[in-house]
Amino acid sequence: MQDSSRPVTGYPVQNANGCAAPPPPVASGTAYPYVNPNPYPYYPAAPQPQNPRPTFLRRLFVAFALFLIIFGTVLLIFWLVLRPHFPDFAIQSLSLSNYNGTNQRVTATWNAQFQVSNPNKKLTIYYGDIASSVFYKDYFLAETRIGPFVQGTRNLTMVDASYSLVDAYVDGKVVDAINGDRRSSQVKFNVKVVADVGFRYGGWRGRRRLLRVWCNDVSLSGSSGKMTGGPKTCTVG
Q: What is the pTM of this model?
A: 0.68
Task: Return phi, psi of residue 198, to 5°.
Answer: -145, 150
Domains in the chain, ordered, with CATH? 88-236 (2.60.40)
Task: Residue 147: count other Cβ atoms within 10 Å of its Cβ.
Answer: 9
Residue 220 is predicted with a pLDDT of 97
CB atoms within 10 A of CB 48: 6
Of 92, 89, 38, 73, which Cα lies nearest the Cα of 192? Answer: 89
Q: Are 180 and 173 in contact (CB under 8 A)?
A: no
Q: What share of the chain is helix, strand, coil (3-state, %, to 5)?
A: 20, 45, 35
> How many Å separate Cα 77 from the centre of its chain?
16
Spatial distance between the Cα atoms of 69 and 79, rounded to a whole number of angstroms: 15
The whole-number pLDDT of residue 44 equals 63
Can you tell me whether residue 36 is helix, strand or coil? coil
User: Could you count the other beta carbons within 10 Å of the beta carbon of residue 214?
Assistant: 14
Write down the pLDDT at residue 57.
Answer: 81
Sequential pLDDT tens for the chain (237 residues): 455 555 555 555 555 555 555 555 555 555 555 555 555 565 566 666 666 667 878 888 888 888 888 877 766 665 666 678 999 999 999 999 999 999 999 999 999 999 999 999 989 999 999 999 999 999 999 999 999 999 999 999 999 999 999 999 999 999 999 999 999 999 999 999 999 999 998 877 878 899 999 999 999 999 768 999 999 999 998
Smallest Cα–Cα separation from 132: which of 114, 154, 106?
114
At residue 84, the pLDDT reads: 83
Question: Which value, to the nearest 10 degrees, does the dihedral of the CA atoms of residues 67, 73, 78, 82 take?
Answer: 150
